[in-house]
Structure 1
Amino acid sequence: MARTIAKDHDQKREQILTNAAKVFATEGYDRASMSMLARECGISKANIYHYYDSKDALLFDILETYLRELRDVICGTDMTGLTPPEQLRSVIGVTLRAYQGADHEHQVQIGSMSALPEDQQTLLRGYQRDMVNFVRDIVLSIAPDVFSGDSNKLRAATMSVFGMLNWYYMWNTGAGADAREDYADLVTKLTLGGIPTL
């Protein structure tokens, strides 16, 4: 007879993902063990295996959940009635807010994604590419003449926006909502002021 799924299965799974991301980020993926992960989650080793059969499966679920949800939030930004510069400001603000509270997941993405099989990495890079392309299209719409026929310049400008956001993410992890909005204004003004000079 198949084992029934507990009513709080999804909640426990989310708690495992959050706690495991913390362990992977602070201890390193290679050094982490299933016993260590179970202890951090406050459950038995046998119980964690009920959810994940290996730490590889756990790593993939952490990153797949994080990047898919991040992609959906960023690419789902409502652009209705906004001019291209307003679209840029909106998506920058959405991105900074989405980053809040996801420090461990972001560190795991940077430091441990390469431990996954290539097919899983390809899927995760697809989520990243969707986000980059979404912002790229906004940047292009701001100054199409600047980037006409120069995809390298367009990519560099787009990735520079993400570079500014990731800098803030890595060095201002405790920043609250108001500080993030102020920085969103700063990044938007730097980008809009710099693009015409390219």
Structure 2
Amino acid sequence: MARTIAKDHDQKRELILQSAARIFATDGFDRASMAQLARECGISKANIYHYYDSKDALLYDILDNYLSTLRDRILGTNVEGLDPEARLHEVIRQILRAYQGADHEHQVQLNALGALPEDQQAQMRGYQRDMVRFLSDTIAAAAPEVLADDKPKLRATTMSVFGMLNWYYMWNTGAGTEAREDYARLVTNLTLRGVGGL
């Protein structure tokens, strides 16, 4: 007879993932243990192993869930009917909003992605490349006369924008929606007009 899935299976799995992301982000993936995770979740170590057979499996699921959801949200940004500058602002705005509340997952991505096997790292980098390409295309459309035919400059601009957004994540984690909206406008103006445009 097949084993039935508990009614709270998905909620428990989500609790484990959130707790693991917090522990991996604060203590480091290498130092974290399944026993520590069980204590954090308030469930037995055996119960953790019912969901995940290793820390590596947990790390993969944290990053796959986070990056695929982030990618889908950013690439799904509704820019219909917007002019190129407004499209760029909306994409930047959505990236900042998508980062909100995902501090631990973002930290795990920065510090522990290299612990995954190479094929899984390649999958995660694929998600990242999709987001970079999307933002890059959006930037190029907003400043075609400067960037459309200069791929190195477009790449540098794209990665600089991500750098500004990641800086905001690192130093303003508690920022609310209004502050993120203001910063999205600042980044858009700085990207398209430089300091003189602020």
TM-score (norm 2): 0.96
The count of corresponding residues between Structure 1 and Structure 2 is: 196
- Quote the Cα distance in structure 2 between the aligned partners of 1:142 and 1:58: 40
- Quote the Cα distance in structure 2 between the aligned partners of 1:88 and 1:187: 10
Cα deviation per residue 1:123-158 (whole Å; 9 max; x = unaligned)?
000001111100000111112231243211110011
Partners of 2:70 and 2:98 within 8 A in 1: yes
- Quote the Cα distance in structure 2 between the aligned partners of 1:143 and 1:149: 11
What is the SS of the residue equivalent to 1:3? coil
Alignment of 1:119-130 (within 5 A): 119-130=119-130
What is the SS of the residue equivalent to 2:31? coil
Cα deviation per residue 1:20-59 (whole Å; 9 max; x = unaligned)?
0000011110011111111111110000000000000000
Q: Cα RMSD between the aligned structures?
A: 1.4
Give structure 2 stretches of 5+ with no counterpart: none
Question: Match of 1:14?
Answer: 14
Partners of 2:84 and 2:142 within 8 A in 1: yes
Alignment of 1:121-140 (within 5 A): 121-140=121-140
Partners of 2:21 and 2:108 within 8 A in 1: yes
Moved more, 147-156 or 75-84: 147-156
Moved more, 52-61 or 9-18: 9-18
Report % sequence identity. 71
Partners of 2:143 and 2:192 within 8 A in 1: no
- Quote the Cα distance in structure 1 between the aligned partners of 2:84 and 2:43: 49
Letter in 2 for 1:58: L
Question: Match of 2:88?
Answer: 88
Shift in Å at residue 60 of structure 1? 0.4
Letter in 1 for 2:80: T
TM-score (norm 1): 0.96
Give the ranges of 4+ consecutive aligned residues of structure 1 lying more than 3 Å apart after TM superposition: none
Moved more, 146-155 or 73-82: 146-155
Question: Match of 2:190?
Answer: 190
Alignment of 1:22-41 (within 5 A): 22-41=22-41
Moved more, 147-156 or 27-36: 147-156
